[in-house]
Amino acid sequence: MSDSARGIVAIVGQGYVGLPLAMAAASSGWKILGIDHSEERILSLNSGKSHIEDVKDTQLQEAIKSGRYIASGDFEQISSADICILCVPTPVDPAGKPDTSYLERAVISVSPHLIGGTLLINESTSYPGTVRELIMPLVDKHRGEGVESLLFSSSPERVDPGNSLWSLKSTPRLVSGIDEESKALVVNFYRSFCDEVILVSSPEVAEMAKLLENTFRQVNIALVNQLLPLSRKLGIDLREVIEAAGSKPYGYMKFFPGAGVGGHCIPVDPLYLLWKARDLGVDLPFVANADQVNAAMPKYVVQRLIDLAKPESGSLIAVLGVSYKPGVSDTRESPAEDVMNELISKGFKPLWSDPLVKSFHDFEQYKGQKVSGAILVTSQAGLPISDLIDSGVKMLDCTGTLKGISLVEQL
């Protein structure tokens, strides 16, 4: 290490994972080099403006003022780092297969600049075996000195944007490395700013644990979504059923139905697990079926709105709340996109509204136009719900937050 207590950490990717990590590490005394490909983002960060809800401008400005943080697009500066952390997107392609291109490009970019003794940590979510099967061979290929003098670890991110209860500091952190030295260094690093660090036996265990966490959520959300049509035919409020079952103090966890699943984790992580399983010739029918059930929810939601509002072909339909969860502007994998595409396929013109979102793909924004129906996908403060209801627009509520309101039907 360049300092007996703290050193220099290069964090590749300054988005929802990398920037909060940078602030947490900087606050504990590490000097952070925030690497990003976006020149616009680099300029914004170095001027003290955060693009992430979980990082306040004042927090970023304090880190810059203290000399503990600087953003850069210069990968050569990684040669000064004791630790390099990969925090880049790992989405799926249109066919649902892992898209590791961002991760591969990041590894190729950092490899020539990793000096002997550097600890390379992967926080980017991926399949079990990513460190050994993808990252290490790429480093070996693109670093002149190979991998023998480097250390490799995994610590899959557990970021939940907008969560005021569980922060990066308070959420237990899973870590592991390829050898004892890697394990010791990665534990010491995260212990400097995380309340609890859990060392597991291998990077593969840490990688698999991250996929299990979100596959568990995907499967249970699919279960309640699959019960929706049955509950409706029985005349039963499924949310009331879930709350009733949730009164049991053990053996049950509440999950609620909705227009689909969103965010970078729940819709994506199970597909990485499915891909790896199929690559090994293993079938995971529960996981595959859960993905199919949740992927079909936008179609079900749109049909429910059609049955409720009976809009004419070509009518404008408002889709309210397009971020994937309340309180954030993050639209990654938001089910609102699929809802809007399904509306288009049915011959309608969707308009979106979300006070926290600046733009949403190429869809037109709702600005008071006369609409023939509305779908509340994500309950976001500041939505024009009252205005729409006052004007007589029928609305399908996918969130369970508008109970007992005239013209509003619960999913």
Active site residues: 265
**Cα separations (Å) of 402 from 316, 375, 386, 406, 409?**
22, 12, 11, 9, 8
The answer to whether the CB of 198 falls within 8 A of the CB of 113 is: no
- Using DSSP's 3-state secondary structure scheme, residue 310 falls into coil
Phi, psi of 315 (to 5 degrees): -65, 155
Spatial strand order in the sheet of 349-353:
364-365, 349-353, 316-320, 374-376, 395-397, 408-410
d(CA 80, CA 227) in angstroms, rounded, equals 55
- Contact between 27 and 64 (Cβ < 8 Å): no
The torsion angles phi and psi of 379, rounded to 5 degrees, stand at -75, 105
Burial bucket for residue 409 (CB in 10 Å: 0-12, 13-18, 19+): middle
Burial 119-148 (b: 16+ CB within 10 A, else e): bbbbbbbbbbbbbbebbbebbeeebeeebe
Which residues are bridge partners to 403 per DSSP?
A: none
Taking the C-alpha atoms of residue 384 and residue 73, their distance in angstroms, rounded to an integer, is 40
d(CA 1, CA 119): 10
Per 3-state DSSP, the chain is made up of helix, strand and coil in percentages (nearest 5) of 40, 15, 45
Q: Residues 260, 265, 267, 273: what is their CA dihedral angle, to the nearest 10 degrees?
A: -150
The identity of residue 365, as a single letter, is Q
Q: Which helix (H) or strand (E) is 341 found in, with range?
A: helix 335-345
**31-35: strand order across its sheet:** 69-72, 31-35, 8-12, 83-86, 119-122, 151-154, 173-177, 197-199
What tokens does 393 get? 């627009």
Taking Cα atoms as reference points, which of 97, 152, 106 lies closest to residue 127?
97
